């Protein structure tokens, strides 16, 4: 892996995916894909970089998120799907 040859000072977890479809019509497969990118992607990348940062006793991890989690919408469920 590349980071084994370089020093990583900052990891920015900025990936995210959503769906614009109606929740009732959205397949479980789409929900799984959203979960894999938004949650497991962040965890996986952090786990890969954290030992490197720990050995060096140096580094920062930044995780971004969508404003949709703060603002919300009565017609949306997590992942951005419409409820009705």
The H or E element spanning position 29 is: helix 28-35
d(CA 74, CA 61): 32
pLDDT digits (tens, 9 = 90+) for 17-76: 877 777 788 899 998 998 999 899 999 999 999 999 999 999 999 998 776 666 656 555
Closest listed residue to residue 63, CA positions, set 28, 80, 38, 83 = 38
> Quick one: pLDDT at residue 82?
45
Confidence of residue 81 (pLDDT cuts 50, 70, 90): very low
């Amino acid at each position: 892996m590349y980071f084994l040859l370089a020093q990583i000072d900052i990891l920015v977890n900025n990936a995210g995916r959503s769906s614009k479809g109606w929740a009732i019509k959205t397949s479980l497969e789409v929900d799984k894909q959203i979960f894999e990118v938004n949650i497991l992607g962040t965890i996986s990348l952090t786990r890969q970089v954290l030992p490197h940062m720990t050995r060096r006793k140096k580094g920062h991890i930044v995780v971004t998120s969508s404003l949709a989690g703060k603002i919300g919408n009565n017609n949306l469920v997590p992942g951005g799907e419409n409820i009705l």
